Amino acid sequence: MFGDLMGMMGKLQETQAKIEETKKRLDTVLIDDQSSDGLLQVTMTANRSIKSLSLADELLEDKEQLEDYLVMVLNRTIEKASTINEAELAAAAKDGMPNIPGLDLFK
């Protein structure tokens, strides 16, 4: 029984290490998105950190339009990054989880 418990604890530590490695790797995964007319472009990591933002000069003339574009494109990019982030972290966690009967967290 204690051997199983120690094995599970070791497996959990391995899983935590895999998750941390995955988080570091996700800092290198870049998601690019832009407005439909290309006036605003955003690049973000899969950990939802903005790397670059590029906007056309004409957006500087209309504050309200710029705000709308920023909200729209940033939200869409964050959604894409979150989807990738959650899928990758879930995969890392699932692969490393010990087989505990009745505990099917990642089905």
Instruction: Identify the burial level of 43 via C-beta atoms within 10 angstroms of its C-beta, where 0-12 means exposed, 13-18 middle and 19 or more buried.
Output: middle
Domain 1-96 coded CATH 3.30.1310.10? yes
Question: pLDDT digit string (tens) for 45-94?
Answer: 999 999 999 999 999 999 999 999 999 999 999 999 999 999 998 888 88
From residue 52, alpha-carbon distances to 7, 8, 33, 44, 55 in Å are 44, 42, 11, 7, 10
pTM summary value: 0.74
Per domain, the residue ranges of the chain are 1-96
Angle between helix axes 63-96 and 2-26 (nearest 10 degrees) is: 150
Distance CA 22, CA 28 (A): 10
